[in-house]
Amino acid sequence: MNDSMRRVAAVLLVILGGAALWWADSRAAASASANDAMVATIAAARERAAANDSRLKGASRFEQGGWIYVHLEGLPGAMGYQHGYLLAPEIEDAFAAVSAGMMHSTERDWEFFRRAAHEMLWPKIDTEYQQELQGIVEGLRARTGSKLDVDDIVAFNAFEELPDYYVPWLNKQQKTGQAPDLKSPGNCSAFVATGSWTKDGQIVMAHNNWTSYRNGERWRIVFDIAPKNGYRILMDGFPGVIASDDDFGINSDGLMVTETTITQFEGWDPNGKPEFVRARKALQYAGSIDEYTNIILDGNNGGYANDWLLGDRKTGEIAQLELGLRAHQLWKTKDGVLAGSNWARDPQVLKEDAPQFDPANKESSPNARRARWDELLKENKGKIDVALAEKMLGDHRDSAQHQEEANERTLCGHVDGSPRGVPEWEWRPYYPGGAVQGKVTDTTMAGEMRIMARMGHPCGGDFLAKPFLAAHPEYAWQEPYLRDMKAGPWTQFRSGQAQQE
């Protein structure tokens, strides 16, 4: 008997044993509890069998500082299996929260997203990522007996692009009457600095992730990926998703990558390649700013359109790639700082891809944070290092009101405290969203494949779900998924880390 036959036989034996037990017990009118016991026995046998799968070799997981660190290695299918297996409980939980949000905002059912994944996205995904996504399904099913299939996982991987880019485009195409007003998201505050701007003259890169607290509280994975092909990757990420997606990552050829999204972006190309695939591929295969640009532009579908902030530790050069669908622009410098807070600046991109955005409105979240980045970075020119960058990510200066107040206009966003919300992103007053975690690295750290990361608001403040929901019943639909988001400490992670250290 080969390994897999032996495993099947072992599981069968347990099932038969369990069934016999169940049959005997049911005659004693204790069928309910016996049935529970049988289910538990079968689940344990399945988990034991899955844990012996040779594809798990080399993979590992531990938790630290509120983060879950996962090491994946090898062929694409094996890395997917490891991902699905090691994060199975988190994937099922995150899938429930994310899919509920996608259906709620778009008023489309899940079948609609599965179809979009199957017919539109899947055929454009590179074979290696198809294998990785398939592997996630297999690992997940082996561990928990999950019913999710590859269409579910692909739609879920596209959670930043299908609801807010594809659906509004489709509604417009189909002239859907009374369609919900969907706006592309505004995720994140970030900067990358180099030359005379930083303390040691090398690159410093920092990013905090802005999203709903419902999703953001689950954005707590540190992925250490050692693929058979391409560069080693260290990035933050979301359970079940193959790209960082918020995005923050470094690779072993010295590339440093982050981004902030373009507010009020409009456009979608159904024939393009999903953004989550292009972003993952670029981080895995790009060794320079130009290579990164070429990979992410190849098959650009307009999904999750970002201002990419890049650094190359080998040259000390940084760059901003403003990636619209109809237009894009690349700026590079070896002495400067490039900041992002969800605004486009290239006239062509503004005109063709984000025509509704008003760069002159000082009161809006993107522009108020832009002004604050300008002020804060200039004040600290020549002093910027990792410790200072960590502090900047937790900044609460509202540049529109000229005062300290954590709200939608501060670099560390707390929109749940704002009676204004962020209308540009369709975030209503007191929307439970804002900065949900932060990461920082620099040239030295990137050379050693290290990052600093803090879970929760980068300022260290906690979000508590119960009092929030009591005060804001308009968000009651989120109640099953909205949890406390408590801040952890700034914590260091590095590639190849085997456990908490």
Which residues of the chain form contacts with Zn ion (CB under 5 A)?
A: 406, 412, 457, 459, 461
What the block records as the tokens of 327 is: 């237009």
Cα 309 from Cα 289, distance rounded (Å)? 10
* Residue with Cβ nearer Zn ion (226 or 339): 339
Question: In this complex, which beta carbon is closest to Zn ion, that of residue 76 or of residue 433?
Answer: 433
Distance CA 296, CA 259 (A): 13
Residue 229 in tokens: 């092909």
* Closest CB 458 distance from Zn ion, rounded Å: 6
Residue 2, classified by CB atoms within 10 Å of its CB into exposed (0-12), middle (13-18) or buried (19+), is: exposed
Q: What does the alpha-carbon distance between residue 154 and residue 119 come to, in Å, rounded to a whole number? A: 11
By C-beta, is 139 or 433 nearer to Zn ion?
A: 433
Cβ atoms of residues 404 and 183 within 8 Å: no
Q: Taking the complex as a whole, how short is the minimal distance between the CB of residue 5 and Zn ion, in angstroms?
A: 56
In the complex, minimum distance from the CB of residue 433 to Zn ion, in angstroms, rounded to a whole number: 13
Could you give the strand order of the β-sheet that contains 233-237, starting from the edge strand earlier in sequence? 60-64, 67-74, 221-227, 233-237, 248-251, 255-261, 306-312, 317-323, 328-333
Nearest-approach distance from CB 19 to Zn ion, in angstroms: 55
**Least distance in angstroms from the C-beta of 173 to Zn ion:** 40
Q: Decide: helix, strand or coil at residue 336.
A: strand
Q: Which is nearer to Zn ion, 80 or 461 (CB)?
A: 461
Closer residue to Zn ion, CB minimum distance, 207 or 457: 457
Give the type of residue at 483.
R
Q: Please name the residues in contact with 202: beta carbons below 8 A apart, sequence gap of 6 or more.
A: 194, 313, 316, 442, 443, 444
In the bound state with Zn ion, the residue whose beta carbon lies nearer, of 214 and 457, is 457
CB of 151 to Zn ion, least distance (A): 38
108 vs 397 by CB, closer to Zn ion: 397
We find the least distance from the C-beta atom of residue 412 to Zn ion, in angstroms, to be 3
Q: Pick the closer one to Zn ion by CB: 309 or 459.
A: 459
The Cβ of residue 91 has, within 10 Å, a number of other Cβ atoms equal to 28
Question: Sheet holding 189-194: strands in order across?
Answer: 336-340, 189-194, 204-212, 433-442, 450-455, 491-494
CA 185 → CA 91, 207, 305, 363, 391, distances in Å?
A: 22, 16, 9, 18, 25
**Shortest CB 460 distance to Zn ion, Å:** 8
CB-based contact 241:253 (threshold 8 Å): no
CB of 294 vs Zn ion, minimal distance in Å: 37
Please give the distance of CA 475 from its chain centroid, rounded to a whole number. Answer: 23
Output 467 or 473, the one with its CB closest to Zn ion: 467
Decide if 313 contacts 203 (C-beta within 8 A).
Answer: yes
Rg (CA), the chain: 23
Find the residue with minimal CB distance to Zn ion.
459
Give min distance, CB of 464 to Zn ion, in A.
Answer: 14
CA–CA dist 140, 219 (Å, integer): 18
Q: Give the span between the Cα atoms of 92 and 405, in whole angstroms.
A: 36
User: Is the CB of 163 or the CB of 394 nearer to Zn ion?
Assistant: 394
Give the type of residue at 136.
I
CB of 396 to Zn ion, least distance (A): 6
Compute the distance between CA of residue 56 and CA of residue 72 in angstroms, rounded to an integer.
Answer: 9
Q: Token pair 């508590």 is at which residue? A: 464
For 156, 263, 345, 356, the CA distances from 359, given in Å and listed in that order, are 32, 10, 8, 10
The nearer residue to Zn ion, 225 or 459, going by C-beta atoms, is: 459
How near is the Cβ of 191 to Zn ion at its closest, in Å?
17
Our CB check for Zn ion shows the closer of 3 and 484 to be 484
